[in-house]
Amino acid sequence: MNQTIAEKIFSRVAGRTISAGTEAIFPPDLITAYDYPGYIDKYETQMVEELGITSVKHPERFVLFIDHLYPAGTAKAQQIHQITRRFAKRYGFKLHEGDGIGHQVISEKGYVKPGMFVTHFDGHISTIGALGALGIGIRNSMIEAFATEEVSLVVPGSVRINLEGALQRGVTSRDVFHWIVREIGPDGCRQAVIEYGGKGLQSLEMDERFTLCNLAMFLGGISAVMETDEQTDQYLERTTGKRHPPVFADPGARYEREVTINLSDVEPVLVAPPSPANTISISDALGTRIDSGYIGSCASGRIKDFQQALEILEGKHVAEYFRLNAVPTTTRIQAQMSELGLTPKLINAGAQVHVSTCDFCIGQMGALSEGERSVSTGTLNIPGRMGSNRAEIFTASPYTIAATAINGKITDPRTML
């Protein structure tokens, strides 16, 4: 049988050949979650009080992260973290606190291996697709995963996106993703796993691949997964200490749709408020006054992102009154930024370099007030996402944010490279 990568993964988990459209119950290889009011505190109440479950069979399959409301700015936030620590201890779950954003830490710490099936509340777990693994956000059926160590779902179909060519200077994988949204529509991969492959994929570095997979939900995707190659092998050798079999789809696998994107066609784009569906050309917004910039989040905020920003920022300074926040995705990336000398360069250019946290993406830190406008590599540009409901967020690439930060208005990064 000729299978997509997702079908291969679900078949392996189910222990039988399984194809798209089948409804079945699957035990995830990893079950992962972060805390936030109404998440782990609720799971604990549901597990202990409503379902009376005092232990799980495979605690080693669970990994929890404290990455939101971190570091705790209030006693109430610290109390949420206390509940998470208690929950982890009670059931014997591994807990990471202060290591950075879970969607990336989970790969960095070697939990993720190619071919794995991982569940989370949050759909941005699709980030791990860069390693040939399938991460699916199951929203409030997370309690199903905690309580039964299994999840019931209909095996999704796949949309194949073949990447060709290579990126032009000043263009990033962030632009590629939003370019694809404009090309095939925000529902272009609805209810499907996005399977990336092709020679063009091999031209992208791992940091760029994580970004591309992270944003899958804004194409309507359930998740994203990539073919593995030599670069993936090298990354996994560092994180897991060994090599793994390659991940690829069978020739003749059935897709709901096949799309070819030539990376060399892609130009810088912005996502205009108020929806992640609104990709616009940078030329449509040039000169728009901007108050602040944010380079970070689980989507961006890796070494490559800061290197790109510094191609423009180094030796210059952000505009007067412009606030630029640089937030590494993980604490390890924060250390690498120091080792590579990126941190002092960012600081000298007027950026504030912060500890790894989700909080800038959700307006808990560096919040926007009414009437302000921001350029952001955060995941989302909906009203209220980064503070006031009456602030506007344009999502953009690190290059575009750096160029915009220098001028205080939206600027085409290609004019500054």
Partner 1 sequence: MLPKIQGRAAWVFQEPNFDIDLIVGVDHMKTQDVNILKSVCMTSFDPEFPDKVRAGDVIIGGKNFGYGHPHYPSCRALRALGINAIIAESFSPGFYRGESSNGYPLIECPGITSAVERWQTISFNWETEQISVEETGDVLQCQRVPLKSKDLILTGGIIGYLKKVRLEKEG
Q: How far is the CB of 23 from partner 1 (least distance, A)?
A: 5
Rounded CA-CA distance 198/208 in Å is: 15
Encoded one letter per residue, x for contact with partner 1 by CB under 8 A and - for no contact, window 19-58 reads: ----x----------------------x---xx-------
Rg (CA), the chain: 21
Kindly tell me which residue out of 11, 148, 168, 336 binds partner 1, with binding defined by CB under 8 A. 148
Q: How far is the CB of 50 from partner 1 (least distance, A)?
A: 5
| Residue number with CB closer to partner 1 (109 or 178) | 178
Residues 239 and 332: beta-carbon distance below 8 Å: no
User: Phi-psi category of 100—alpha, beta or left, where left has phi over 0 and alpha has psi -120 to 50?
Assistant: left
Encoded one letter per residue, x for contact with partner 1 by CB under 8 A and - for no contact, window 149-168 reads: -x-xxx-x------------
Note the Cα 248 to chain centre separation in Å.
22
Tell whether residue 234 is a contact of partner 1 (CB under 8 A): no
Rounded CA-CA distance 151/358 in Å is: 27
Q: Which residues between 266 and 295 bind partner 1 (CB under 8 A)?
A: 274-277
Q: How far is the CB of 220 from partner 1 (least distance, A)?
A: 6
Q: How far is the CB of 352 from partner 1 (least distance, A)?
A: 26
Rounded CA-CA distance 101/330 in Å is: 6
Rounded CA-CA distance 271/179 in Å is: 10
Q: How far is the CB of 34 from partner 1 (least distance, A)?
A: 15
Residues 132 and 153: beta-carbon distance below 8 Å: no
Tell whether residue 369 is a contact of partner 1 (CB under 8 A): no
Tell whether residue 364 is a contact of partner 1 (CB under 8 A): no
Q: How far is the CB of 111 from partner 1 (least distance, A)?
A: 23
How many chain residues are in contact with partner 1, going by CB under 8 A?
A: 38
Q: Where does this chain touch partner 1 (CB under 8 A) — which range of 12-20, 132-140, 245-253, 333-341? A: 132-140
Tell whether residue 139 is a contact of partner 1 (CB under 8 A): yes
Q: Which residues bind partner 1 (CB under 8 A)?
A: 23, 46, 50-51, 123, 137-141, 143-144, 147-148, 150, 152-154, 156, 185-187, 190-191, 217, 220-222, 274-277, 380, 382-385, 389
